[in-house]
Amino acid sequence: MKLSTKGRYGLRALIDLAQYSQHEPVSITSIASRQGISERYLEQLMAMLKKAGIVKSIRGAGGGYIIEKDLKDISVGDVLRALEGSLEPVECSGINSDEGCEAADVCVTKYVWQRINDSINRTVDEIKLDQLIEESRQKPCQDIQDISGCKN
């Protein structure tokens, strides 16, 4: 499984937002600047996160984005699915009996794909945004590619 820049940049931007929006909304410009992400691309990512109910936009002077939910209630899986769609590295119609696969009755590889899919989903669902924020506070920065908020 390989995540696109949507998932990678979106998660970085969301962590940045969580760190800087504790007292006021954060602008796309400030997140883009800190994270080295195009403002235009970041706007697209934020629109997807807003549609998923993860962030909220505040209009007007001093507006920007804030996190919609409690950080402990947002999993990495929630964010990645909002940005990437399904996280399953293998689409196998034999896993879901409703889809009908001609070889489903004799195919044993479907059990491998199901376990891989389950493992990925379980892992990303166990990691919560508040844990990443805490981790970033304890990690020194290496470069702009690090998850935001590390200390210098």
pLDDT at 140 over 80: no
pLDDT at 142 over 60: no
Q: What are phi and psi of 129, to 5 degrees?
A: -60, -40
CATH architecture, domain defined by 5-87+128-138:
Orthogonal Bundle (1.10)
Alpha-carbon separation of residue 47 from 42, 65, 71, 106 (angstroms): 9, 10, 19, 44
Give the model confidence (pLDDT) of 114-137 as tens digits: 888 899 999 999 999 999 999 888
| Angle in degrees, CA 10, 31, 54, rounded to 5 | 45
Alpha-carbon separation of residue 77 from 83, 84, 107, 122 (angstroms): 10, 10, 29, 8
